[in-house]
Amino acid sequence: MAFSNQQLLDDLQQQFANSILLVEEPFGLLTIETNRDVIINMLSYLKGHTTFQFIFLTYLTAVHYPDQKEKEFAIVYHLHSWVHNFQLRIKVFVPSPNPEMPTATVVFRSANWMERETYDNMGIHFVGHPDLRRILNVEEMDYFPLRKEYPLEDQLRQDKVDSMFGR
């Protein structure tokens, strides 16, 4: 291990002083929270950094917390450094009615489809994305299925008999 979580954190705090909001280390994975104005700069800084070399965006997804007001959607980026076998997680919270984020495709090309999936399931609009449309669901769908705004079962269905499904 060429560097530790603390070293990485110090470097980031030096570079982005006011923007590291929350730091925690669940299971040893350094997790930092930042805001959406600074996230693209942070991603390019980490990608181009000569020591850290976080050149791999492993995952880009979102989580819906309907109960946290003003911070409903958490967009999560997982970065990985091949050279040092080191992971980092970055979270950005955005408020609900029309969640928007700048696109990470300018830094990582793999973010293209991951942002399309996040848009498809959670409805987060990525500003500047070259082709933001649904990827896994049917194109005509007009809601975002993985948000926690709906009851688990379709109340209007006609074909399933409730008594046979244990209700």
Q: Where on the chain is the footprint of another protein (CB under 8 A)? A: 136-138, 141, 145, 153-154, 157, 159-160
Give me the least distance between CB of 7 and another protein, in Å please: 44
In angstroms, give the least distance from the CB of 63 to another protein. 18
Which of 34, 121 has the CB closer to another protein? 121
- Among 105, 132, 102, CA closest to 39: 102
CB nearer another protein, residue 78 or residue 134:
134
Residue number, 29 or 141, with CB nearest to another protein: 141
Our CB check for another protein shows the closer of 44 and 137 to be 137
Query: Contact 137/120 with Cβ under 8 angstroms?
Result: yes
CB of 138 to another protein, least distance (A): 5
Shortest spacing between CB 163 and another protein, in angstroms: 15
Q: How far is the CB of 148 from another protein (least distance, A)?
A: 13
- The DSSP code sequence of 77-123 is EEEEETTTTEEEEEEEEE-SSS-EEE-STTT-TTHHHHHHHHHHHH-
Q: Are strands 86-94 and 30-34 parallel, antiparallel or unpaired?
A: parallel
Residues 132 and 84: their CA atoms lie apart, in Å, by 33
And the tokens for 125? 């609009």
Whose Cβ is closer to another protein: residue 80's or residue 134's?
134
Which of left, alpha, beta for 128 (phi over 0: left; psi -120 to 50: alpha)? left
| CA–CA separation, 16 and 45 (whole Å) | 10
